[in-house]
Structure 1
């Protein structure tokens, strides 16, 4: 019991009251300990958010720091403010030296429209006549033509025998994705790309069209996208079949807000992706990715998406993929899960206290050795890479595992460092699969 309580005073209390006081003190002590633990955890999270927000964006041992989307906006805003201030100073005569910029990278085949600005008066002041052209200055500005709507009027003349001896001839209607519909294939593609690639909701597209006087209701746009999805589904299905014939795939999932009409808000869905990209190691199969929407994140959705695939699947540490490798899979053989060292590094970096950690520093140093080897052999033939990994990477992994086990035994399992070490050890079979 805490020393703050006077034992003599407690002894004077009735037994029942003394027991109640002691129980209350013990409960408060336990609650206080839990609050201290929670406070330490919150302080750690604040440090991580500050590091992600204000820390370096790239460094050799810290390439996995979070990059917040609004950082780019803030940088652009700061640059625009600086340029505006510089322009104001130039008007007052105090213009600082401007940092030279690198060349703009624009497509060489970009259409160019030349506009020549000629002085209104070319008569030479000396009275000799008109001035002659001796050179020119050129400058380029990027321009855009906003989307313009137009109506394609298709005319099919009817022809008949002038003497009335034969029937009428007329060209058949042009094939259309939506028979008798208003939208051309170009407009359908425009709406689809804006929605699925640029994440522009249909109601916003409807508003944009209305600004140009084209009133297309959101329900009509949704109907168009339904028909587009129907026609493109066989292509997507075929892509999925070809991808699942691969020896290795990547898979990942992330949240996606989904409009919930009538509710006045969005609901959370999940977009699942399976990807093939053999270009880094000189593979001959073309890259490809297929996205699948699911209302949740349960592993059954991963199983459904990867039905028929047998091979190596590289994923993060999400446990939902485990059902593909532990025998719970309804169809197909087991999948070998390969885990990502970048996620393991991130766990270690996030667990490192502000005062530093020799354990984390040494772990990152060892992992950096794997990365250095991979950098050397990137682009080489699979056989060559495998030979190098067997010769150089495998011994490093074999030496790292017992060291990691030893270090983990010294750490509290409930501490951030202990949980980071446990994460690496729990995923060890999949982490060393590359070697």
Structure 2
């Protein structure tokens, strides 16, 4: 029917034109809805295939022949991928639903994970205008709503500069005095003791290999080869 020529409205009797125009508008609206549904259907098909793949991987990880060979980390990764996919589908469904028709979603918060000792940065969001709509003056503050969200600042790299001033007497030539250099775990090397501790904890506690730590540092503009990190770890291991 899409190959048919457009309808000449002028050829239709005036008494019937409004009804024909109404039919045409309804037909156009249905076509738009159909196109939208086809797009949503395609997106849902992709998500369904992804979920089916993840479920199959999860079944293989828990019940397959190789399940006894899988480590706990590998099983946890399978669960994580599935949870990520489910959250993605839920978010897509919410975003595609009109705001007025969205069901109220229970907040997934755990206040126990936000201890009172954490530093808090307050950001006060004021209305654009405090003038009363009735024109009787400025409104007064009667309360407030507070929400807390967890913020994470990436690890900060910094340079510790040790300055040792030199002093000399203007009246005699008895020499120069200067404080001795502080003792370092690796004399003459680049890292502080805090940097070495970070590398050790990341490797042995967080199971982050040295080559990955080298890549992470490179993203911050610090070029330190894996072999250099290995030297740090070996020296620290000896002292420990």
Could you say whether these structures have the same fold, taking a TM-score greater than 0.5 normalized by the shorter chain as the test? yes
Aligned pair 1:148/2:168, yes or no? no
Tell me the SS of whatever aligns to 1:76: helix
Give the Cα separation in 2 of the matches to 1:124 and 1:225.
66
Partner of 1:129: 137
Tell me the SS of whatever aligns to 2:216: helix
Residues 61, 78 of structure 2: 8 Å contact kept: no
Residues 166, 176 of structure 2: 8 Å contact kept: yes
Q: Which has the higher contact order (CA 8 A, sep 6+)?
A: 1
Residues 156, 171 of structure 1: 8 Å contact kept: yes
Q: 1:88 aligns with which of 72, 92, 95?
A: 95
Residues 206, 218 of structure 1: 8 Å contact kept: yes
- The alpha-carbon distance between structure 1 residues 53 and 136, as it changes in their structure 2 partners (threshold 3 A), is farther
Partner of 1:178: 186
Residues 86, 95 of structure 1: 8 Å contact kept: no
Q: 1:113 aligns with which of 115, 118, 121?
A: 121
- The alpha-carbon distance between structure 1 residues 51 and 145, as it changes in their structure 2 partners (threshold 3 A), is closer
Unaligned residue ranges in structure 1 (runs of 5+): 1-48, 55-65, 233-435
Partner of 1:70: 77
TM-score when normalising by structure 2: 0.64
Aligned pair 1:188/2:180, yes or no? no
Partner of 1:227: 235
Residues 89, 95 of structure 1: 8 Å contact kept: no
Give the Cα separation in 1 of the matches to 2:60 and 2:227.
44
| Number of positions where the alignment pairs a residue of Structure 1 with one of Structure 2 | 173
Residues 94-137 of structure 1, C-alpha deviations (whole Å, 9 max, x = no match): 32353454633212311111111112222222222222111111
Aligned pair 1:206/2:233, yes or no? no
Give the Cα separation in 2 of the matches to 1:98 and 1:141.
17
Q: How does 1:342-353 map to 2 (within 5 A)?
A: none
Tell me the SS of whatever aligns to 1:159: strand
Residues 159, 170 of structure 1: 8 Å contact kept: yes
Q: How does 1:28-427 map to 2 (within 5 A)?
A: 52-53=62-63, 68-91=75-98, 93-99=100-106, 101=108, 103-106=110-113, 107-232=115-240
Residues 13-69 of structure 1, C-alpha deviations (whole Å, 9 max, x = no match): xxxxxxxxxxxxxxxxxxxxxxxxxxxxxxxxxxxx769349xxxxxxxxxxx9622
Q: What RMSD over aligned residues (CA atoms) do the two structures have, in Å?
A: 2.5
Which of the pair is proportionally richer in strand? 1
Unaligned residue ranges in structure 2 (runs of 5+): 1-58, 65-70
